Amino acid sequence: MKSLNQDFEKQQLKVGRDTLFNVLREHKMLTLRKKYSARTTNSYHRLYKYNSSIKDLKVNRPNQVWVSDITYIRTVKGFCYLALITDMYSRKIVGYDLSDSLELKGCVRALNKAIYQAKDIKGLIHHSDRGIQY
């Protein structure tokens, strides 16, 4: 886009990113880079999978249900993994851990942080996507 900017200015044209991409797409000149992603969930493991205990549950207070998941962050050196524990009622992140692997340790550290900071967790349900770490 920077190299075309000078040409556009000489011709007194104002072209935004979306317009430029649309023109390139129309003329079959747009090349998209291949997106690489890290796989964070393997729900097809042989370990026992619990049924969802929150399917029809009415969540009406904090610390009733915590949901957990792992996401990846692309860095120059590869990927790092962010394990998050979120309160389903308030949508507040109550625990987290950043790790360089998908091992169980990151999820446990995130859960320990959440438990350490929590006030009343009696009857709390910890829900996940049933990945192998959980």
Give the Cα separation of 121 and 67 in Å (integer): 14
Fold of 44-134: Nucleotidyltransferase; domain 5 (3.30.420)
* Span 3-16, average pLDDT: 79
Confidence of residue 1 (pLDDT cuts 50, 70, 90): very low
pLDDT digits (tens, 9 = 90+) for 16-75: 888 888 888 888 888 777 666 666 555 566 666 666 667 788 989 999 999 998 888 888
Buried b (16+ CB within 10 A) or exposed e, 65-79: bbbbbbeeeeeeeee
Domain borders along the chain are 1-32, 44-134
Q: Which amino acid is residue 84, in one-letter code? A: L
- The radius of gyration of the chain's CA atoms, rounded to the nearest angstrom, is 22
pLDDT at 9: 81
pLDDT digits (tens, 9 = 90+) for 86-133: 999 999 999 999 999 888 899 999 999 999 999 888 889 888 766 656
The continuous run of DSSP H or E covering 5 comes out as: helix 2-10
Please indicate, yes or no, whether the overall pTM of this predicted structure exceeds 0.85. no
